[in-house]
Amino acid sequence: MGFNKNRDANIIQNNQKSSQKTHKKEKLIIKLDITFMKYVFEIKDSVFEKGIIFDKTGNFLFRMKGNRSSIDFSYNDIYRLQGKIFMHNHPRGGGFSLPDIKTACALNMAGMIVVTKKYIHIFFPPQERETFLISDYRGILKCYQIRQNIIPLSKRFLPDDEIWRIVACDLGFRYLKIKIRINKNL
């Protein structure tokens, strides 16, 4: 698959280091290969949530199907998701939800990716760790709530993308939002 965890994690890490002190948003152009984008295009326009699971090195493992707003996990699914990268779509749009992040932490996932019609949202544990930890969620939730409360009221109803970027910078996680563009020259 075209998602190389070490390479792309370094891109995420470098993007955050450069903006960590100022929290300024930077534009970053990343070319993801055709294999990765094939999975993105497979789920981005679906009216139901769909999941695609990869091992921690980015190799495809299996697919999951959900309903309009969630994917339910069986016991076997929970076991199979531990230590994996979980890509899924949000048919109604929007980046990460708190339940997405809680799931990543509770299942010690290696990464969480959300795909919408226009964007790919990527959230990974700190560079020095291979997976999220259950204990990460408490700190993420607290930081998210503090950041949510200090933004102006007029911006609280906008997507949480900026807050997730800041939370990731504050706590050493890796976050990236990538606009999906189709190269018409291919």
Cα dist from 16 to 63, 70, 146, whole Å: 30, 29, 20
What pLDDT score does 36 carry? 86
What letters, b where the CB count within 10 A reaches 16 and e where it falls short, cover 134-167?
A: eebbebbeebbeebeeeeeeeeeeeebbbbbbbb
The phi and psi torsions of 30 (rounded to 5 degrees) equal -125, 130
Is 170 exposed, middle or buried (CB count within 10 Å of its CB: 0-12, 13-18, 19+)? middle
Largest CA distance in the chain: 46
Report the pLDDT value the prediction gives residue 152, as an integer from 0 to 100. 76
SS3 call for 8: helix
* pLDDT for the residue 128: 94
Q: What is the pLDDT along the chain (186 residues), one digit of tens a residue?
A: 455 544 444 444 444 444 444 444 444 444 567 888 899 999 999 999 999 999 988 899 999 999 988 999 999 999 999 999 999 999 998 899 999 999 999 999 999 999 999 999 999 999 999 999 999 999 999 999 998 888 777 766 655 788 899 999 999 999 999 998 876 655
